[in-house]
Chain A
Amino acid sequence: MKPAPLEFFSAQHGIDPALLQRVLAEALGRGGDFADIYVEFRQSTSLLLEESLLKGSSESVSLGAGVRVIAGEQTGYAYTNELSLPKLLEAARTAAAIATGAGRSGSVELVARSLPSRYATEQPATQAEITGKMNFLRVADQAARAADARVREVRANWSDEQRQVLIANSEGQLVGDVQPLFTFGLSVVAEENGNRQSGSKNLGLRAGLEAFSVEDAQQLAREAVAQAAVLLTAEDAPAGELPVVLAPGASGVLLHESVGHPLEADANRKKLSVFSDRLGEKIATELCTVVDDATLPGLRGSLNVDGEGTIPQEPTVLIERGVLRGYLQDRLSARLMKMSPTGNGRRMDYSCIPIPRMTNTFLAAGTADPEEIVRSVERGIYCKAFSGGQVEPAVGKFTFSVHEAYLIENGRITKPIKGATLIGSGSEILQNIVAVGHDLVLDRGAWTCGKGGQAAAVGVGTPTVKIAKMTVGGRRAS
């Protein structure tokens, strides 16, 4: 069976296997070890509600193709948003300029490969009537305002996209994938006696519209309001070194930053990571098993195929019981490191070169009872929601902004605190994970990861975790 995107690009733009072969032959016209072409058509819709008004909607179309030539460690890249044969051949010649040898003779036979099906899409969101999506925003607005009289402002947004991608390479592979993605988000401001606080929630899945309902929108609205309400009563966070307990789910972003980024193969190959050359070493406590898994169905980071044609076949174990087992690989780094690609070569769109990226990254479940974990802390903080994080992979230092957190006093979660930032180093945090709960939650939040100017939809997750000590940046001496 022909991949659906091949039918689409063939009917709409005359792009068939013969044409792709010609472009690939042109790309290898000056030698080069490998060439690929990535053709993409992305349709997206977005909607915004503010001040209880549906203020606008947008439809975007992004169409283009990128041709890549790899020669040794070097990559030549060119893209175009006109899919005519002359433009594609021109892009191929431009990309080929990286190589300086004799052309290869003969062309490759492209064989279409079938892909797994990891995102069931009964009702593709991008083709659905817009009125239903508008309704999500309206009911969320009503639910938020009904939940608490102190709510002053509600901003809700919906976006969805459908990407058709077709990837052909000089090794004869031809794959096509249709990738859905939707995001619902809202943020509220609550005000009381001049004190204004915000709360926000979002949800993102690689699935069809059937995976989201009016009830989901209402529930997320109430959760955002509850968060703002908690912050209205919050005190300034303490400052200093304290034990930290991470709530299950969204706190997984801490692993994403502190462990995931430093385990991307490009940084390790170039010795730009604190974990370079440490495969087989014990880098974490035995409680830690960290996995990146694109094969999970329907999550935000799930993929049938990465941005360069590699099909993720199984979860990639990065750390197994504390021992460093693997890196997040793309084709280039895998070849140079003599390892196998792991299906983590992703690209933001046709204008970008694929680079190693995370998909769904999480800490595997342990055996501890989450309540016991909290009870074991005399004085510390309990982190429930983060607004973001950043890492310096080369030095392993990272930071997280905690949006919703509580003090733990004598083994009990007590007062809410605000304005906390956590800072530490990836290698130390892994040595300081002293308890891992049995309650793994894969978060459904709309996480977007940035690297080298490219955004990627990712998933995060974690069970309840206790970190013996971390530097908490707050405004109050602890």
Chain B
Amino acid sequence: MSKQIEVIADQVLRWARTAGADDAEASVHESTEFSAGVRMGTVETLTEAASRGLQLRVFVDQRMARAGTSDLRPETLEGLTQRAVERARLANADPFAGLPEETGVVPETETLKLYDPALEEWSAAEKISLAQETERIGLNLDPRVNNSGGASFHVGRSRVWLVNTRGFAAGYRSTGCSLSLHLLGQDGDQQAQVSDYWFTAARQRSELETPEEVARRTVERVRRHLGARKIETQEVPVVFEPVLAAELLSDLFGAVTGNAIYLRRSFLVDQLGKKIAAEGVTVIDDGLLPGRLGTRPFDREGVASQRTVVIENGVLRNYLCGAYSARKLKLRSTGNGTGNGETPTNFYLAAGPHAPKEIIATVKQGLYVTRLIGQGVNLVTGDYSRGAFGLWIENGELTYPVHEITISGNLRRMMEEMEMVGSDLQFRDQIAAPTVKVSSMSVAGK
């Protein structure tokens, strides 16, 4: 019988102390996963497993080292811990290194709705048939949508336990499930194939979209690419649908982390209190929203989750910090620490007053973005340039699809020119946004 993760974590802290660490932190997790991939009705892959792992940080005279392992046998853990302490002595002393001074009050995990026992009641056959059902419906909605990249269903369950030598000891369990579908379409043999996908993810079984819903959204997304044209290079307004606006937010996140700020690797360095975005832009990181995918009682350093207003009506109010970057910047940890940088909790652009249709209606000639590919974002300068697929907007209406284009601009200017924010915010993922309109970007085509 394997040892409890609580017992393992405590033992590792004792070994770290014995080896000479001033402080140490250990985080242990145990998780199970199940995933089914189906394609053209057949089960392609079925994966099931349980795993455990441990992450350790040790501090000696303000010198830090870390270690991690999936092998939790005592002989492995003891050696790894001792070597970590020896290695810490070889690092440079860094007055900002260390565990968080205060971790705040950890919220009741029950109120956060991170765990759904209903997920365990799903039988393997039910889980497989959810994926099969989704694909089957999707392949029968439109004769032009006639090939599948597969549907998959995933369920995971995990429990983490975090302890440190300053007396922090807490854990929580969480669940997650997701259903996704990838379909392809073709309008006649001579035409180019098009492809798109859709997914739903949730902590609670009841929050997951139905197979019908996922299939319908996937088919809609695939068929709107059919018959795509190239367009001329021009400067036009660009409207991002919610999942694509969320990608912009994901880029923005990288620029507001304490780590990027103290290293001056962000176009938002030295901008606290300044107007950096349009009036309608309010961006929040909130780790306490019940049942959301980014919700958690505390971060990986044990600091309690909170709601942090990052941008308020266009004004930059806060950077998102872990203990280390907070000390460097003379700020407080916002509960985004990983011990090695920052992660978002639920990072989102707050909903605005405009219906998506109303936003599109304001555009005479412009682009509605439906897909972005590539990593052309430079956070140091804010320069932004990515490959795009979309729908052309003419006189306030979506018309034909366009492809082989890139959209470029500068994130700072795009934030300033985010002149309309939609009312359609949905928390599909840890990073979320409603429809947004940027008043002008360079669209390169022919």
Q: Which of B42, B70, B88 contacts A74 (CB 8 A)?
A: B42
Nearest-neighbour CB distance to chain A for B76, whole angstroms, equals 6
Q: Is A397 an interface residue (CB 8 A)?
A: yes
The stretch that binds A, out of B188-196, B242-250, B305-313, B329-337, is B188-196
Known: A98-B46, A197-B380, A425-B404. A473 touches B385 (CB 8 A): yes
Contact yes or no, A61 B94, CB < 8 A: no
Q: How far is the CA of A476 from the CA of B233 in the complex (A)?
A: 10
Q: Is B66 an interface residue (CB 8 A)?
A: yes
Known: A73-B44, A421-B406, A474-B444. A80 touches B51 (CB 8 A): yes
Q: How far is the CA of A197 from the CA of B380 in the complex (A)?
A: 7
Q: How far is the CA of A401 from the CA of B375 in the complex (A)?
A: 6
Q: Which of B49, B92, B389 contacts A53 (CB 8 A)?
A: B92
Contact yes or no, A475 B51, CB < 8 A: no
Q: Is A131 an interface residue (CB 8 A)?
A: yes
Q: Which of B66, B71, B264, B387 contacts A398 (CB 8 A)?
A: B387
In B164-211, the 8 Å CB interface with A consists of 184, 192-195
What per-residue 1/0 map shows which CB atoms of A90-113 lie under 8 Å from chain B?
A: 010010011000000000000000
Contact yes or no, A397 B404, CB < 8 A: yes
| Residues of chain B with a CB closer than 8 A to A53's CB | 91-92, 94
Known: A81-B70, A399-B406. A390 touches B192 (CB 8 A): no
| Residues of chain B with a CB closer than 8 A to A351's CB | 49, 51
Contact yes or no, B381 A478, CB < 8 A: no
Contact yes or no, B374 A196, CB < 8 A: no
Contact yes or no, A395 B192, CB < 8 A: yes
The stretch that binds B, out of A269-277, A299-307, A339-347, is A269-277
| Residues of chain B with a CB closer than 8 A to A51's CB | 263
What per-residue 1/0 map shows which CB atoms of A372-408 lie under 8 Å from chain B?
A: 0000000000000001111110111111110000000
Nearest-neighbour CB distance to chain A for B60, whole angstroms, equals 12
Q: Is B45 an interface residue (CB 8 A)?
A: yes
In B32-64, the 8 Å CB interface with A consists of 39, 42-53, 64
Q: Which of A58, A97, A401, A475 contacts B68 (CB 8 A)?
A: A58
Q: Is A76 an interface residue (CB 8 A)?
A: yes
Q: Is A418 an interface residue (CB 8 A)?
A: yes
| Residues of chain A with a CB closer than 8 A to B238's CB | none
Contact yes or no, A60 B69, CB < 8 A: yes
| Residues of chain A with a CB closer than 8 A to B42's CB | 73-74
| Residues of chain B with a CB closer than 8 A to A477's CB | 233
Q: How far is the CA of A396 from the CA of B72 in the complex (A)?
A: 44
Count B interface residues, CB 8 Å: 72
Nearest-neighbour CB distance to chain B for A426, whole angstroms, equals 12
Contact yes or no, B69 A423, CB < 8 A: no
Known: A98-B43, A153-B265. A423 touches B184 (CB 8 A): no
Contact yes or no, B91 A473, CB < 8 A: no
Q: Is A55 an interface residue (CB 8 A)?
A: yes
Known: A54-B91, A198-B380, A474-B444. A397 touches B373 (CB 8 A): yes
Known: A353-B45, A473-B385. A134 touches B90 (CB 8 A): yes
| Residues of chain B with a CB closer than 8 A to A58's CB | 65-68
| Residues of chain B with a CB closer than 8 A to A475's CB | 385, 408-409, 442
| Residues of chain B with a CB closer than 8 A to A296's CB | none
Nearest-neighbour CB distance to chain A for B443, whole angstroms, equals 8
Which residues of B approach A to under 8 Å, CB–CB? Answer: 2, 39, 42-53, 64-72, 76, 80, 83-84, 87-88, 90-92, 94, 97, 124, 147, 149, 184, 192-195, 225, 230, 233, 263-265, 373-376, 378, 380-381, 383-387, 389, 403-409, 442, 444-446
Which residues of A approach B to under 8 Å, CB–CB? Answer: 50-51, 53-64, 73-82, 91, 94, 97-98, 130-131, 134, 152-153, 155, 189, 191, 196-198, 237, 239-241, 270-272, 274, 351, 353, 387-392, 394-401, 418-421, 423-425, 471-478
Give 6 CB contacts A-B under 8 Å. A56-B91, A57-B87, A58-B68, A75-B45, A240-B233, A395-B403
8 closest A-B pairs by beta carbon, nearest first, are A473-B406, A399-B387, A399-B374, A239-B444, A401-B376, A394-B195, A473-B444, A63-B71
Question: Knowing that A53-B92, A76-B45, A473-B444 are A-B contacts, what are 14 other residue pairs whose CB atoms are under 8 Å apart, sorted by A's residue number?
Answer: A61-B68, A61-B69, A61-B71, A77-B46, A81-B72, A189-B264, A189-B265, A191-B264, A239-B406, A351-B51, A392-B195, A394-B149, A397-B403, A421-B444
